[in-house]
Each structure stands twice: as C-alpha cells, then as structure tokens.
C-alpha cells in the first residue's frame, strides 16, 4: 500500500486513540496516510482521530478558487444567467438542456407570495409540467421536492432567504429514491426577478443544464469552510490540521448508483484531493518517506484568508494548517523543509521564557543555495514573539538545520478567565531562493498566568504540596505571586485525594450561590490531570438523600453532543435515575451550562438550579444531609470516584464567593469545620486547586448526621452512556 485515505474521524481526537495509533504505525511502515480533519467547525482541539496522529496528513476543507458555478438560464435581459446551486436530490443535471415553463407554489399565508411546499400544494393544476418556485424554510428539502413532484411539477427552483451567493446550498435530509425531478437554488433577489417577470408575462420558460455556468465570486477563493474542524492536536503539541484542500461544492461518486454523481461538502471531500496528490508525488519521488511527501505538500501551500484574497485577515493556522494545497507547485519543488508544521504547544508562563524548534532544509539539487527568510503573521498574542532566520545556506544535495525561536513576556500575555477561549499566535516562516518558495507554519496557544498560593499565617511555608493540589493548615492567606490577576472561587470542601492513589479526581467542593438572581447549588471539581478540551470528560454526582445507600438522583455534566446536540458546550442537568448509562433519558432536566471551564484546564464549576419544588428540585425540603459520590469518566470509559457528605444547613456554604486578587495582593482563607477548596482557573494548570485543611475542632454533628455510603456502585451502574 502506498497511500491510505480515510474520510472519517471521531471528534476531539487524541493521539492515543486506537485509530490514531494504528495510523502512526502505518506511516512508520512507509505508508502515506491522509485523513479528514472533521466537520465540527471552529472549536479548539475538535480535530478528529485518526487525523490527530502526528504522522498523518490531516486535511481541512477550503473553497476552491477559479470555479465556475452552475446557473439558471432565463430570457431576462438583466439576468440571463442567475448563479445557482444544484440540489442534493438523486437527479443530477447533465449537458443536455431541459426547458420548463415556470409557476409558483401556492402559499397557505395570504401575506406570503411564495409557498414553502412543506404541505401538499393546493394549486396543482397550475404546476403540472413546470419548474415550481418554492421558498426556503420550515421543512427539509426532500419534503419540498416530494410536494412539488406529487403536484405535477417537473423541476424545483428554491428561492433562498438570503441574497448571499455563498449561502446557496441544498442539504438537509435523505432524499427518497422516487424523487425524479432536478432542482436549483437561487438568491432571494433573483427569485424576486422571476416573480416580477411572471406577473408581467415576461418569463415564458427557464432552462436547466450543467453547461450554464457563471464565474464564482473571488472573495471565496481558498476560504476555509465554516464547518471545517479546528486544531491544534492534543496537548497543543500537535500541528493540526496540516493543510487544506477543496471540500465544498464537490461532486463525487454516489455510492450504489452505478455511474451517478452527488454533490457533497465536508473534509471527507477534501482529504481525497490530498491523497491523490500524495500518490502523484510518491510516483515522482518513489524513495521519499511519507514525512517528506507531507512536507512538500505543506511547503507549497498558499494562505487562506478569512475574507478572500488580497485582505490582511488570514485564518489562524489551527483552522487552515500551513495553507491550501497547490499540487502543481508541490511537484515543481527542488527543495523542502520538514517538518513544515511546528507547534510550540500551550504556553502558560509565570515567568518570561524563550524556546526554539529546529527543522531541516533539504536541497534536492547539486548546487549550493541561499534562501532569504521572512515572516508572515496570521494571528498574534500580546507578549508572544516568533523569530525566523534572515538567511539560510545549504550545500549541494545537502541538509541544514533551521531554528525557529519564540519569546514570551509573561507580563504582557492577557489572562483568560475560563470562558472556553483560546489565544493563538500563528503564522509562517517563508524561505525563498528565487527558484523555490518554501512555507512552514507555526502555532502557539498562550494564556497569561496568575500564581495564587496558600501561605500560613503568619507567612509560613506550605505544609505540603502535591500534584495538582496545594494544601495548607487551617487559616492563612491566598496570595497572588504571579504577573496577572487571579480569579479565585472558594467552596466548602467535600473531599480530596492523594495524587499517589488511583483515580483522576484531586478535590471536590460545594457552595450556595446565585446565577441570574436564581438560587444555585454549585459544585467544584478539580482533576489531577489537565485536559485540552473539557468535552473529553463527563461528570456524574450520584446523590443519596436519606442515607440508605440507594441513589435517588444523578446530577450530570456532559458535552451537549452526548444529548444529541452540536458539540462544544458542557451542560448540567439532573436525572432521577441511578445508572449513569441512562443519563439523558426522557426524565432528565437541564439546568445550566458549566461555569469557569476553559481549554487547557483541570477545574470546572458545575451549577444546578436549586429549586424548592417541581421537576427542577434537586431534593425534598426535609432532605438536608446528602451522601454524594462524584464520578468522572474519560473518553476511554475510565471511571474515577470520590465521595463525601454535604450538610445543606451549613452556614459556611453561603459564605463562599469569588475574589479578584491583583498581583501582590491576597485574601484571608479559613478552613472552618469541613475545610475549604479554592479553585483558581487563572493559575497555571498545576496550581488551579488549593485545599485548606479543616480546623482541629472538626464538627461531630455533621459526621454523626449521616456518613458516606460504603456501598460501591455496580459495574453496570458505573458504565458511561454509550451515546455518540
């Protein structure tokens, strides 16, 4: 096997996913592996497996330039060819010309001129044998096709709700095989032109054919498609995606149709372009390894611009990779730089620092060459500077190292306060010797850091420090010794764990608070290991309200995609069940979205609407002491648990809050009877949770009211929901 193409993937991929591991092994065996990045849009780290494998060529989707767009032909002087998009139905237009009279679908609303054909049409006698104008909206496109066909129409003209030519697409649903009519979508303005012409008897017919085309607007040339999944790779250490290729307005073979085609969009359309070009390069250079073929494809790309060619608004490289493929330019290269995509990872410094990445420039000719270096910035972060060499010389048929350096001023990087955002410095180092222009891309994620630490009163050293959690005795201060302001949240401690024990939960706390003036019971969870994207974890809090070791309800926090929605949002809710595998069933109730959760963190705040009664009620009014067990499930279904007791009448829960602590400032802390958990998401990953131990006078009353259940959940009840 020379080349494998995989137009598939699982979102939020990790290099340790089995498909990514297998792909890496294939590349190391000499096979070029190409994979689609995914179709989940601009979410950091959503690039899928197997594409997230460092060795794989991972492809984003772009809109190709130089295209011609299909058009609806009319006899109108001001619009003889109307830009259109062919429908996604089973009937494709060919070179032959189809001529139709024109009619308008009747509307059930007297104030609307054009019907949406979501119900049987009432003016079938006017539609027989004609192309029927239908408005967009309300129902899926296959239903519109079916209503027009059943009314006798022989073609459908969909009138878009927008005048944006780039917004012409006909998707949404599975078309039944019995659909035998073609369709085109036109803009709202052109649709109105047809309506005006009909009213004046100036539109005897229209014509459908694949031969009627118009040039596409150049402002879409090489633009990254909105659905294309964003990188970078896991831990920020992977440069992903690697490059982009056309993935919109693509006609490919329709499976099971014989010789028919179907128009599709997606990174599954983009990856085969790159796989095909990789095969041609492999034929041209049979002795080059997969990494070199990958580098040549990346070296010869062109940048993708957010608003089209000629603007200064480049796409961040975590969306486009090094750029959009130019196959002919790749085949003409006589030198290469590899690797051509560099990641400086996630930078979250308390002190200023610098680092470098080294790449190799290969001269594929028998003469010495000197390259002039330049830099082009795609996206920038205050305090982050990248340096490219000004000149590089390489001997005949030789190789030389090239160092790309990054400098970070910790005092200038903005602080990110847990709002699912990612600051990115990205761009290109470009090397030109008059024959070749070689482009390499770099990416660095960056956040400014606070450094809030617990100090003993009076200013004594910490009692101990463990991975992910700092612990102090009793009372003291939380002092910010970092360059940026700290955002600190205090909670009553439920329990915390030693880093040496199995499991991934560092600490667990709770408090009473309000959101949008509503009473909220909020939990804080700190993990021992940080995440790239919080969607890789699911959280379940199993609640025993009466101490009988049975579970009355389960609070949950999962990515919305587990409940059938688009990914990228952590939603909290309650389900009155015991088994976490059933969470999200019909009796579940949504509450809020997770608070203060961000990329590259390990702490999350989970709010639940604390209603006194009704379907949102977490517990009955008389249930004041709860046994709770936190379960955290990772993407590989590994389960970590940590339990404890909360007393809803504990006044300390009402005294917890959120504090903004400037550099050099501090706030008092008090462990109280139960202890205190501080969550500081603006700290570096390793120091985002801090535990204040309880005072010596541990409250016996609370521990005597109810003790944590000793019963362990059954393996069946611990299994995570298998919903993807």
- Band the pLDDT of 721: cuts 50, 70, 90: very low
76 exposure class (CB count in 10 Å sphere: 0-12, 13-18, 19+) = middle
Indicate if the pLDDT at residue 141 is higher than 80. Answer: yes
Residue 683: HSE in the Cβ half-sphere, 13 Å Cα cutoff: 27
**DSSP assignment, residue 10?**
B
| Residue-level pLDDT at 715 | 35
| Residue-level pLDDT at 713 | 41
**251-278 confidence digits (pLDDT tens):** 788 778 787 777 778 999 999 999 999 9
Contacts with 647 (C-beta within 8 Å, 6 or more apart), sequence order:
624, 625, 702, 705
Torsion of CA 579, 580, 582, 584, to 10 degrees: 140
Structure tokens at 81: 């060819």
Do residues 525 and 506 lie in contact, with contact meaning Cβ atoms separated by under 8 Å? no
pLDDT > 70 in the chain, percent: 89
Torsion of CA 126, 131, 135, 136, to 10 degrees: 140
CA 515, 521, 526, 531 torsion: positive or negative?
A: negative
Mean pLDDT is highest, among 296-305, 509-518, 548-557, 691-700, for 296-305
| Residue-level pLDDT at 704 | 30
| Residue-level pLDDT at 587 | 64
Indicate if the pLDDT at residue 67 is higher than 80. Answer: no
Picking from 31-45, 328-342, 701-715, which range would have the lowest pLDDT averaged per residue?
701-715
Task: State the alpha helices, DSSP H only, in 121-187.
Answer: 124-127, 141-150
Looking at per-residue pLDDT, the higher value among 161 and 287 belongs to 287
Query: What value does the mean pLDDT of the chain take?
Result: 87
Token pair 């259109």 in the structure block, residue: 84
For residues 650-654, give the mean pLDDT. 92
**409-423 confidence digits (pLDDT tens):** 999 998 876 678 889
CA separation, residue 411 to residues 385, 386, 415, 450, 527 (Å): 13, 17, 10, 10, 27
Do residues 24 and 4 lie in contact, with contact meaning Cβ atoms separated by under 8 Å? no
Indicate if the pLDDT at residue 87 is higher than 70. Answer: yes
Token pair 């010596």 in the structure block, residue: 696
Torsion of CA 138, 143, 147, 150, to 10 degrees: -170
Indicate if the pLDDT at residue 36 is higher than 50. Answer: yes
| Residue-level pLDDT at 577 | 77
Picking from 110-114, 379-383, 433-437, 579-583, which range would have the lowest pLDDT averaged per residue?
579-583
CA separation, residue 6 to residues 9, 255, 270, 293 (Å): 8, 16, 11, 17
Structure tokens at 392: 């590089």
**568-581 confidence digits (pLDDT tens):** 899 998 888 777 87
Picking from 58-72, 124-138, 321-335, 466-480, which range would have the lowest pLDDT averaged per residue?
466-480
| Residue-level pLDDT at 456 | 67
Picking from 208-222, 388-402, 628-642, which range would have the lowest pLDDT averaged per residue?
208-222
CA separation, residue 596 to residues 268, 521, 535, 607 (Å): 34, 15, 14, 10
Token pair 């830009």 in the structure block, residue: 83
- Band the pLDDT of 486: cuts 50, 70, 90: very high
Do residues 453 and 682 lie in contact, with contact meaning Cβ atoms separated by under 8 Å? no
CA separation, residue 140 to residues 117, 132, 144, 155, 690 (Å): 10, 17, 7, 17, 52
pLDDT > 90 in the chain, percent: 63
For residues 349-359, give the mean pLDDT. 94
Do residues 666 and 659 lie in contact, with contact meaning Cβ atoms separated by under 8 Å? no
Kind and range of the H or E element at 428?
Answer: strand 423-432
| Residue-level pLDDT at 328 | 96
| Residue-level pLDDT at 256 | 83
- Band the pLDDT of 722: cuts 50, 70, 90: very low
Between CA 43 and CA 420 the distance in angstroms is 9
| Residue-level pLDDT at 176 | 82
**663-706 confidence digits (pLDDT tens):** 999 998 888 888 999 999 999 988 999 999 875 333 322 333 33
| Residue-level pLDDT at 585 | 66
Indicate if the pLDDT at residue 545 is higher than 90. Answer: no
């Amino acid at each position: 096997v020379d080349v494998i193409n995989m137009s598939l993937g699982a979102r939020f991929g990790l290099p340790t996913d089995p498909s990514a591991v297998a792909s890496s092994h294939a590349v190391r065996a000499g096979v070029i592996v190409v994979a689609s990045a995914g179709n989940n849009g601009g979410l950091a780290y959503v690039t899928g497996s197997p594409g997230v494998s460092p060795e794989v060529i991972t492809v984003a989707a772009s809109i190709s330039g130089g295209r011609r767009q299909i058009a609806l032909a009319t006899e109108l002087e001001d619009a003889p060819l109307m830009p259109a998009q062919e429908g996604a139905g089973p009937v494709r237009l060919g070179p032959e010309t189809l001529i139709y009279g024109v009619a308008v679908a009747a509307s059930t609303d007297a104030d609307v001129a054009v019907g949406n054909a979501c119900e049987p049409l009432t003016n079938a006698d006017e539609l027989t044998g004609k192309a029927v104008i239908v408005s967009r909206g309300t129902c899926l496109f296959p239903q519109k096709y079916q209503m027009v066909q059943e009314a006798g129409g022989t073609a459908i003209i969909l009138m878009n709700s927008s005048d944006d030519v780039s917004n012409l697409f006909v998707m949404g649903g599975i078309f039944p095989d019995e659909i035998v009519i073609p369709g085109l979508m036109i803009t709202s303005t052109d649709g109105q032109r047809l309506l005006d012409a009909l009213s004046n008897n100036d539109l005897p017919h229209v014509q459908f054919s694949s031969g009627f085309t118009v040039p596409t607007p150049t402002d879409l040339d090489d633009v990254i498609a909105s659905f294309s999944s964003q990188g970078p790779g896991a831990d920020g250490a992977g440069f992903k995606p690697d490059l982009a290729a056309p993935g919109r307005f693509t006609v490919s073979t329709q499976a099971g149709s014989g010789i028919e085609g179907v128009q599709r969009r997606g990174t599954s359309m983009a990856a085969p372009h790159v796989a095909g070009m990789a095969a041609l390069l492999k034929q041209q250079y049979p002795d080059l390894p997969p990494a070199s073929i990958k580098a040549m494809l990346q070296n010869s790309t062109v940048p993708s611009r957010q608003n089209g060619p000629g603007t200064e608004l480049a796409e961040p490289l975590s969306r486009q990779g090094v750029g959009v493929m130019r196959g002919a330019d790749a085949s003409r290269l006589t030198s290469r730089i590899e690797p051509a995509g560099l990641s400086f990872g996630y930078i979250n410094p308390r002190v200023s620092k610098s680092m470098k990445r080294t790449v190799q420039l290969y001269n594929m000719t028998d003469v010495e060459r000197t390259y002039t270096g330049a830099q082009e910035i795609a996206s920038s972060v205050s305090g982050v500077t990248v340096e490219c060499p000004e000149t590089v010389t390489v001997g005949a048929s030789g190789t030389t190292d090239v160092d790309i350096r990054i400098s970070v001023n910790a005092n200038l990087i903005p602080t990110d306060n847990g709002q699912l955002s990612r600051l990115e410095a990205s761009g290109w180092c470009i090397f030109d010797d008059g024959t070749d222009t070689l482009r390499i891309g770099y990416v660095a994620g960056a956040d400014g850091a606070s450094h809030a630490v617990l100090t003993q009163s009076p200013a004594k050293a910490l009692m101990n420090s463990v991975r992910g959690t700092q612990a102090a005795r009793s009372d003291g201060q939380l002092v910010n010794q970092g360059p940026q302001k700290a955002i600190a949240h205090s909670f009553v401690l439920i329990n915390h764990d030693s880093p040496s024990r199995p499991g991934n939960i560092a600490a667990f706390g709770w408090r009473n608070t309000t959101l949008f003036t509503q009473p909220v019971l909020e939990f804080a969870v700190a993990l021992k290991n940080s995440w790239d994207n919080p969607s890789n974890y699911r959280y379940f809090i199993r609640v025993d309200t009466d101490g009988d070791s049975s579970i009355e309800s389960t609070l949950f926090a999962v990515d919305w995609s587990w409940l059938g929605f688009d990914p990228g949002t952590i939603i909290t809710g309650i389900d009155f069940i015991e088994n976490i595998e059933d969470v999200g069933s019909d009796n579940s109730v949504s509450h809020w979205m997770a608070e203060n959760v961000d990329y590259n963190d390990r702490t999350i705040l989970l709010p639940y609407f604390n209603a006194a009664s009704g379907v949102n009620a977490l517990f009955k009014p008389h249930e004041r002491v709860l046994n709770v067990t936190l379960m955290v499930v990772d993407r590989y279904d590994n389960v970590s648990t940590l339990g404890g007791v909360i007393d809803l009448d504990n006044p300390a829960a009402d005294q917890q809050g959120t504090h903004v602590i400037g550099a050099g400032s501090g706030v008092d802390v008090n462990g109280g009877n139960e202890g205190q958990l501080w969550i500081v998401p603006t700290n570096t990953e390793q120091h985002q949770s801090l535990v204040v131990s309880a005072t010596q006078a541990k409250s016996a009353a609370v521990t005597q009211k109810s003790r944590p259940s000793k019963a362990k959940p059954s393996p069946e009840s611990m299994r995570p929901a298998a919903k993807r």
